[in-house]
Each structure stands twice: as C-alpha cells, then as structure tokens.
C-alpha cells in the first residue's frame, strides 16, 4: 500500500475502485459473469465495514468522499448492493456531524457532503467478463479438461476475450479521463460530458426523503443523462463499483498496458484500490491496490 502522502495528491483527482462484497459463487470460486446474484450477509457486512472504516473515516487519507462527484456502478445486484452500503454510510456520517454541530441530525440538501449529492450512474460497460460456457464453473473444474487454461490468455467459449473486455474498459477510461481534465471528446474545454451512448443510466445519488435515509433503497433507473463537470478540479474524483476481472483489466488499461496484464493483479471482495496521476494528468498510475485491512473484525477476516 502507498503512503498517505502519495495516495492523496492535492493536485490531481483520483479514481477509486471497489469490488463488490462476497456472494455465494465468489465464495465457492465459481465464475460469476452475468448471473445476477445478490451479496451474502457476509458480503453486506464487508461493504458496511468498507464504508465505516474507509469512506466514513475522517482520520484516513486514502479516500476523501468530499471530493467524489461521480459514481459509476455495474448494474448487477452485487455491485449495486455494495454501493448502497457506501451511500448509507455517507448518510450516517453526515447525520453524526450534523448532530454534533447543531443537535439536529437532518441536514439540508445544500449542507450535505458532495458524496451524498453526487452524480451516480449505472454503467453496462462495467458488467463483469462474460464467461460464456464457463459461467458458474470453477477454474479447477475447467483445468480438468483444459490444462493450463487462463481466462486472460484463452478467453471462454461463447463469451468474451480479454481484448473485448479491454475495449469496454477503454470507453470508461476515456470518459473518466476527459471528465477529470474538463474536456470534451473533441479536446475542447467543456462543463458537461455525455456518457458513452446507450450504456449508462442515472441512479439515485441521494436518498429521496427523510424516511428513506436509513432504508435499503434500491438504485433507481431514471434515464440517460449528461454529466456536469465540477468547476473545482479538486472535486472530480470518481468512484467505480464493479467486479474483479473487469477492474483488473481496467487498471491495466488505465496504465496503457495490454489487458492481459490484468492476470498479475489480484482483487479481493470488498477491496478498495486507487488510480491516479503523477506529474501530470497524462501520466496515469496505480496508487493503492487491493486494500482489505478494513475487513478484519475481532481478529477475524470477514468474508
């Protein structure tokens, strides 16, 4: 893990990568691509611990939720449920601060942290690798008939190749890179940016009413919309909540490496990683990878 001084550069924005919490299939090692299964109770607890110990924790310097102005979430349940825990945690943190300052735990919308007022969208480009005929099958089972098989080198029958996954990731990266630089696809400065066509939908970025503040509110599809780029360049951090293989390829493509290099990056459930820049906004780097210290509770790792 990088030191805080390297993690939280005040000059350049960051991209936070969160893998969803544990599911029954991830726990059993089964390839889970497009099968839409929910988190296990332990997966929900993982996401809650990530929220409490990282996103709600003002004493850490890895994630600054006040600078997150855009959230991109895979539309699959396990990713959406993980984001919901982070959102509810942000609400708890806001209520606690408001209670301490005013005695009233309910802040006006204009007083809420940016994370609770942020733009949040479901993005189909962030769905997990399509494993085709290997969906629901473990690597151990595949190796019985295909020795030395690797999803990164060999792909899957009737599914995606690593290059196809990388192509999806490249579209997401191009959008984020332009968002953080404040430029359009034509290279000119802009205050708004259109999401990649026909793949992104608005989801709830803020719980709608006081009664819903602590409810397990599902993410809501509200249609395709453009994104507003904050004028303050320090408020252009992006949070992505998605899946292991997809995020491994995305991280390698962020560094302009071939997607196959994702084979060298392990990513655990409910982990947090940080992408960013060094020296300028064209020099893209990994600052933190696969941080999971927050998942330990009572000397036991959850999930």
At 15-35, the pLDDT tens digits run 999 999 999 999 999 999 999
Give all domains of the chain, ordered by start, each with its CATH number.
7-294 (3.40.50.1240)
Pairing of strands 68-73, 300-301: unpaired
Q: How many CA atoms lie within 13 A of 63 on its CB side?
A: 28
pLDDT band at 65 (very low <50, low <70, confident <90, very high): confident
Q: Is 33 annotated as a binding residue?
A: yes
Token digits for 55?
A: 């996103």
Judge contact between 261 and 276, C-beta under 8 A: no
- Apex CA 167: angle with CA 67 and CA 272, to 5°? 35
User: What stretch of H or E contains 90?
Assistant: helix 77-102
Q: What is the pLDDT of residues 246-259, one digit of tens each?
A: 999 999 999 999 99
Q: Within 10 Å of residue 142's Cβ, how many Cβ atoms?
A: 19
Q: Is 14 annotated as a binding residue?
A: no
Q: What is the pLDDT of residues 79-92, one digit of tens each?
A: 999 999 998 877 77
Q: Is 78 annotated as a binding residue?
A: yes
Q: What are the DSSP E strand ranges found in the chain?
A: 15-19, 68-73, 119-123, 192-193, 200-203, 227-228, 237-242, 272-278, 280-291, 296-297, 300-301
């Amino acid at each position: 893990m990088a030191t805080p001084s390297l993690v939280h550069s005040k000059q350049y924005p960051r991209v936070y990568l969160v893998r969803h919490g544990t599911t029954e299939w991830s726990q059993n090692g089964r390839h889970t691509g497009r099968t839409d299964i929910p988190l296990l109770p332990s997966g929900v607890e993982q996401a809650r611990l990530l929220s409490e110990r990282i996103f709600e924790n003002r004493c850490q310097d890895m994630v600054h939720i006040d600078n997150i102005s855009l959230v991109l979430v895979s539309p699959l349940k396990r990713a959406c449920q993980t984001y919901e825990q982070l959102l509810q945690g942000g609400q708890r943190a806001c209520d606690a601060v408001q209670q301490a300052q005013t005695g009233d735990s309910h802040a006006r919308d204009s007083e809420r942290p940016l994370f609770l007022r942020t733009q949040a969208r479901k993005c189909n480009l962030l769905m997990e690798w399509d494993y085709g005929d290997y969906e629901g099958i473990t690597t151990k089972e595949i190796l019985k008939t295909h020795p030395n098989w690797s999803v990164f080198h060999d792909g899957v029958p009737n599914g995606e190749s690593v290059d196809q996954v990388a192509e999806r990731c490249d579209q997401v990266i191009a959008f984020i890179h332009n968002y953080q630089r404040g430029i359009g696809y034509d290279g000119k400065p802009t205050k708004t940016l259109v999401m990649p066509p026909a793949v992104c939908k608005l989801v709830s970025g803020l719980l709608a009413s006081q009664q819903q503040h602590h409810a397990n509110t599902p993410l809501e599809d509200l249609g395709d919309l453009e994104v507003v780029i904050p004028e303050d360049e320090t408020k252009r951090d992006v949070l992505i909540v998605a899946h292991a293989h997809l995020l491994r390829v995305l991280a390698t493509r962020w560094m302009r490496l071939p997607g196959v290099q994702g084979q060298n990056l392990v990513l655990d459930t409910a982990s947090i990683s940080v992408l960013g820049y060094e020296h300028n906004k064209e020099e893209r780097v990994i600052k933190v990878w696969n941080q999971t210290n927050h998942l330990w509770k009572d000397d036991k790792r959850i999930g």
